[in-house]
Structure 1
Amino acid sequence: MPPLRQLLLGLATLAAGCAAGPSEPTIFSPAGITHPEALFDVTTRSAQIRSYSAGTGAMKGTRYCLRESDAPALAPLVGPSLAAVKAGGDSNNAARDMARALNATAFRVLLENDAEAARQAVAVLRQHADANAWIVAKPSWTNAAGVINAFPALLPAWQVLRQTPAATPDDKAAIEAWLTRLTAQADEHPGDNNLGTARGAADMLLGLMLGDPARYQRGVQTGFIAQLQAMRPDGSFPLETDRGLGALQNQSRNIAFLLYSAEIAASQGENLYGTKVDGKSVDDAIRFLLAAADDNALVDGYAATNRNPPKTEPAFRPGAQLDPFDSTSRGWAVLYTEHFPRSELSDEIRAHIKIGSRVNADAVGGNVTCYAKRL
């Protein structure tokens, strides 16, 4: 940031009185919070990313947290979001977009300790809770999927925001009751593909926040463990790799949700990264993806089934898999390589995936580098 702009921003912040500087007390408090360390310790992480870099003189998190200019305004998204999911189909996107915006705001709050931004985000969540948003009387799989697809960005946002003064006890009770009702709708989906992995991760994180160990364990079993049970010995997921030219993209998406689940578990001292089911681990899924990306023949036998292929590529062709190394893969690559910085598999991941410093991927909790990057 140019010196003049940095000075003007500092003066504006001082005048507003709503954002704490790096040397000031944090706005976050774990007092009275159930599992404040779930996924990551919010107070500790905020202090880490707000500490100064000796090399640049800037807060360390400015290299990794979402830029202020990239965080969308919440207000324009509220109306469409309140009406979302109930119509199914494309209306689900409005719920996902709202969750993404709240996630972006939460991670800016993590860096800036901006009490006003936290207040606005909590108010939007309370509005959704009071309106019973996204919930239908007789949900279909589509309505359930709309909720499941919003959870990966929404729940980490709440984990951050609920630890600020903006969230009153009444807000917490109302919002968490709404989140619990949403999980009931999510249960309408059979959850046998990556949506089941995503729902399992949501149950894990929400179970911790609510102090519900049974929900947490259900998430581990119906998400992470169930996917390893279903995985073939070669590391491929049957209900992802039969998806035509999108087979490897779906394999990568399921890996992302598995590693997100493993990060939630790691916050509790549980090692899902090293868990094996019938001798199979998440490492096998990663190795299959990397090998099949190099040689599509490894996946073409499965992908030729062409079940529910990408709309942009409805016809199957051998050796023509869509590039699986998009933002989703960069997200899980951050988690894995930060967890195992010197492993041989991490080296292989880095050789295939250009990770970058800022990564925003729903499947791993939104703005992943801000909570996972080693400082």
Structure 2
Amino acid sequence: MRDLLLAWAKAKAFADTEVEHDAYYALKRVLLPTVVAFSVLQRGLDEGQSRMLSEWIDPLVRKIDRTFDGVVDRNNHRYLADSVLMTWGAVVRDEALYAKGDERYRAILAEARPDGSLALETRRGARALWYMRQSLASLTVMAEVAATRGTNFYDLRVGEVNFDRVLSYLLNGIAEPNVAMAYASENYIPGGETDARRQDLGFLTKRSHGRHYMAWTEPLVARDRAGLATKRLKALFVRNIRSDRPLIDEFVGGNATCFWGR
């Protein structure tokens, strides 16, 4: 991992990423596991190696803190960006970057409906639950980064909504996809399936390329938390997800089973 990252840094990888929201979305996705890899390696690097990697990663992270004057500045694209900013901020002790994630986490809870659904995600037709799950991945990353500082985001409540309320909405939708229909019927950019009644639950199984979109559940399952939402998630994990380990996904920083699995 060290040699790979050093080779990327020497080549100035991703420095010429096109300034366009889809290209930047791809950059955000590669940066989170890159930042996590650096944090894992950091104590074993010599001063020169650490400086080379830091000087390569830092401007890339700051580059994704960009707005495109559209929905992507407020939906799961932004959640991912702020999870990267917050994680890098925690690693290099940059309080301004760390605050980006702190503020976004609270904003997500404030914008959620009382039932825990997120308006910009649940309108996505057959992929309403897909994008709810993706948003929860970024919320989990931000909560776990906060936990390294002794801050409990999982129990943070804004109005009627906390993490468990958002999680419960997803679990309700998995159990009964029609739960999402009231919002999914808007059918905004639904993807390949245009029938909003046919919710895409493909995120519950391991992908052919080895990724698992439910990898973010590992830290939640490892935590000793009370509450119905956690119990339901653990039951789902045992029933549908655990057998697919290791659970790897860039949205949670890489190999979640390695980081958190028991």
Judged with a 3 Å threshold, the aligned counterparts in structure 2 of structure 1 residues 329 and 348 are, in CA distance, closer, same or farther, namely farther
Q: Which consecutive residues of structure 2, in runs of 5 or more, have no partner in the other structure?
A: 207-211
Q: Which of 123, 128, 131 does residue 3 from structure 2 map onto? A: 123
Q: Which of 25, 31, 34 does residue 154 from structure 1 map onto? A: 34
Which residue in 1 is equivalent to 2:209? none
TM-score, length basis structure 1: 0.62
Per-residue CA distance 1:101-128 (angstroms, 9 max, x = gap): xxxxxxxxxxxxxxxxxxxx32332232
Judged with a 3 Å threshold, the aligned counterparts in structure 2 of structure 1 residues 160 and 246 are, in CA distance, closer, same or farther, namely same
Q: Secondary structure at the match of 2:216?
A: helix
Structure 1 residue 176 corresponds to structure 2 residue 60: no
Structure 1 residue 358 corresponds to structure 2 residue 246: yes
Aligned length: 248
Q: How does 1:1-375 map to 2 (within 5 A)?
A: 121-136=1-16, 139-164=19-44, 167-189=45-67, 190-222=72-104, 224-311=105-192, 313=193, 315-318=194-197, 320-323=198-201, 324-326=203-205, 328=212, 330-340=214-224, 343-353=227-237, 354-356=240-242, 357-374=245-262
- AA aligned to 1:199 is A
Judged with a 3 Å threshold, the aligned counterparts in structure 2 of structure 1 residues 146 and 264 are, in CA distance, closer, same or farther, namely same
Distance in 1 separating the partners of 2:146 and 2:217: 17
Q: Is the 8 A contact 1:191 1:199 kept in 2?
A: no
Q: Which consecutive residues of structure 1, in runs of 5 or more, have no partner in the other structure?
A: 1-120
Q: Is the 8 A contact 1:243 1:303 kept in 2?
A: yes
Q: Is the 8 A contact 2:205 2:241 kept in 1?
A: no
After superposing on structure 2, the runs of 4+ consecutive aligned residues of structure 1 that deviate more than 4 Å are: none
Distance in 2 separating the partners of 1:207 and 1:289: 29
* RMSD value, Cα: 2.0
Per-residue CA distance 1:138-163 (angstroms, 9 max, x = gap): 61112221211112222111111222
Shift of 1:236: 0.7
Distance in 2 separating the partners of 1:219 and 1:290: 24
Q: Is the 8 A contact 1:147 1:185 kept in 2?
A: no
TM-score, length basis structure 2: 0.86
Aligned residues with identical type, % of pairs: 25
